[in-house]
Amino acid sequence: MARSAEELIKFIEEQRNPEHFKGLPLEGKRVLDLSTVIAAPYTAALLGDAGAEVIKIENPRFPDGLRTWGTIKENGIEPYYSVLGRNKLPVTINLKSEEGKKLFLGLIRESDVLIENMRVGVMDRLGFPQDVLLKENPGLIIGKVSGYGMTGPHAKQPGFGTLAEAFSGFSYLNGYPDSGPTSPPMALADLTTGVHLALAIALCLPKAKRGVEGGQVVDISLYEPLFGYLGGEFLSYVLTGVVPEAIGNELRAAAPRNNYRTKDDKWIAMSCSSQKPWEALAKVMGREDLIDDPRFLTNNERIDPQNRQELNEIIQEWYGTLTEEEALEIFRREGITAGPIPNMKDIAEDPHYLERGTIIEMEDPVTGVMLKMPDVTFRMLGTPGKIRFPGLPHGSANKVVYRDILGYSEEEIEKFAAESAI
């Protein structure tokens, strides 16, 4: 059921009830999310899943651009922000106004983590260099996300996930030999960076004490986490001098590993590079002769480009004689490592997704629309994470946060709004 403005404030007040955080790993921690779009906000969302109270800070006039990503016209739901804005209390602050600066520093003193992704030097120009923030709160952990990191020749260049995917080497290796570099259909660099920063902050928190000691700065770029994933490819180049090229759905160091089309025009992903799965596959194809074939004897032979191509042709020909269900039944029976390639409709109806609880359903607190989104992506049986509510409207937590955390009266908060400080 849709809520009025007053009911939404009561909803937000209820979300601050300590019972909602009880027993969660980051219970009692407070995170300031002074960031936009995906990478850094994803970090804050993950910390919120783990029980931190997350305050989302936005510009009063210019909300997070993620709010405009594919807004549903029929009901005004912001799907990307609903997911990445989960568990966050949205407030507005004008960091260029004197009252806004005071509010921000007040929140700094009452928090454990600050996450920001402004371009290098912007926080300094606003009057918030890291040494000032750490003086205000010696226990503050500051997570800084940028395209290229805080140092190096590109440090002051604007950075976006697409550019980071390119700079990391990922885009060059993604795609097919004749397709050219291919960017992923999702914010891969941002999300990967978000996970890495959440890990780094979690590693810092045990030695930090709000307002006392242990504060530090975590500097993370958008390109380095993805480049780290490509470490084997990079070292291979260093050792051989051979530049790795795109090879489609395959893995350079393993074969067979590919996506194959079935008789009913469905797709199945398969990875059978280890010897036992490979031999099992050869047997179910009725091609036991391939096991002793010098071209396919071990993975080292199978990854030879010519041998790989010939093996793929053999496997694809066999797939073309089976429907998806027939192939999957064989793989389930024989324990072969292959599985379906579903689309979003398939996922929404998949019994494993539903029974395991991979998808969570909750009501949008503003419109009353029922939303479905990915639940917390890992299971901690003793202290499980929790998504309490989806993304909330721009500035909707101003009254609750400034009153309950910083102690301002409703009249003072109204004055801040009238003065464009919030």
Name the nearest CA neighbour of 201 among 182, 213, 217, 186. Answer: 217
C-alpha distances in Å from residue 229, one per residue of 102, 202, 225, 233? 41, 21, 7, 9
C-alpha 289 chain-centroid distance? 45
C-alpha closest to that of 390 among 42, 35, 83, 8 = 83
Q: How far apart are CA 250 and CA 234, in angstroms?
A: 17
Residues marked as catalytic: 190
In terms of C-beta distances under 8 Å and separation of at least 24 residues, what long-range contacts does 251-255 make, across chains too?
A: 252/303, 253/299, 253/303, 254/299, 254/303, 255/299, 255/302, 255/303, 255/307, 255/308, 255/311
- 210's tokens: 């709000």
Contact 87, 48 (CB under 8 A): yes
**DSSP class of 99:** H
